[in-house]
Amino acid sequence: MKPAAFGQPFTWKGRDFVRGEVPEGVNRGKPFTLAQPLAGRYRLVSFFASGGMGLLLEGEDLRTSARVLVKAILHYDVVPYARVRDQEGFTNQLRLPRKTLEMERRILVQLRNAGCNAVPYPNDFVYDANPQLASPFITEDKGEWTYDDEEMLHHEPYLVMEAVAGRSLEEVLRDAPGKRLSETRSLRIMMQVAEVLQVLHQPKPMRPGMTWQLVYQDLKPANLLISALDRVIVVDLGGCQLINLDTNQKLLPGAATAGYCPPECEEPYTLLTPAADVYTVGSNLFQLLTGKSPVEFLGSSLAKHQPRAVHLDTRLLEDKCRPEMRAVIERCLNRDPAQRFPDAQSLRQALMALLVAN
């Protein structure tokens, strides 16, 4: 990815910070502030990517001189609470995104320990101040209110990961003829994704009464990095749904992207199964082969920031792939989860059979 303009330096409480805006993508124009260097160790160099509520920045580890990626929380929904001077409500809005970022680190550690090298290595997890949260907010009575919880202001979390080379699949498609890839290349890429999902879906006993079940649910080209020889790195695991299988309790709701997600994502209390990720593999394959993003099928009345399923017209796959490939995609996209491949392992076997026969 090409480095982009980073931001302007400023000082807050005797420390150096940088203030900038996301230069591109769905979060273009959204502001951020970060310490420079972060936690006294990581010098931030340039913008890398942004999606959902997250921000990825390139940096340098001042102790080792190694390149790193730093993930920060870009946005909190705190303005409604600031308007009514609700400090407790404001604080509560900080907790879930911070817990989610910490959980993403744990997920990355588990995947790497399970032998999955197609996700970034989590180097560090640090805390620093976030002066953006202290900025005066305009209240309903046209006055100003400042958030002054020092502990929360100075404990903003940051996930530090190994630097990864490559371009997002979204960028690759943007530059490809017809914004699409060949069937063989599409299979190679999504086979690697299915391997990551297979590891992710495996139940993980944590302690008596607690068994994790993870569903990625936010698979889209922007979350896949493609490096040399089409090696795939899956990023942004903060959108995973986390369930305790022993109690059928949803511990984290995660996030999903309209167009790519299955119908069951529209129900906030539904417990997703691995079949939800099977659907998203199908929606991504549809885009890779047809050149049409599922987002294009959203009606103008549907909010693009809410989980919404769409009808993907698989007739558009005609002459873009073999009938056998189209049949696999159609099974993935079945609105009934019970009619799809049940999990990533069975889907991977189907994709492998297509790749071998190609």
Q: Where are the domains of the chain?
A: 8-162, 167-357
Per-residue pLDDT reduced to its tens digit, 283-305 = 999 999 999 999 999 876 555 56
Mean local confidence (pLDDT), 237-258: 92
> Does 81 have pLDDT greater than 90?
yes
Token readout for 10 is: 């400023």
Token readout for 124 is: 């560090």
> Does 4 have pLDDT greater than 80?
no
Evaluate whether the domain defined by 167-357 bears CATH number 1.10.510.10: yes
**H-type helices in 115-244, by residue range?**
150-153, 169-175, 183-201
Closest C-alpha to 220, from 257, 183, 254: 257
Q: Which residues of 211-231 are buried (b: 16+ CB within 10 A; e: fewer)?
A: ebbbbbbbbbbbbbbbeeeeb
What distance in Å separates the CA atoms of residue 171 and residue 168, rounded to the nearest whole number? 5
What distance in Å separates the CA atoms of residue 235 and residue 239, rounded to the nearest whole number? 10
Residue 94, Cβ neighbours under 10 Å: how many?
Answer: 21
> Does 230 have pLDDT greater than 50?
yes
> Does 152 have pLDDT greater than 90?
yes
Asked if 8-162 and 167-357 have one fold, the answer is no
What distance in Å separates the CA atoms of residue 233 and residue 344, rounded to the nearest whole number? 17
Confidence of residue 118 (pLDDT cuts 50, 70, 90): very high
Task: Give the class (CATH, top level) of 8-162.
Answer: alpha beta
pTM score of the predicted model: 0.90
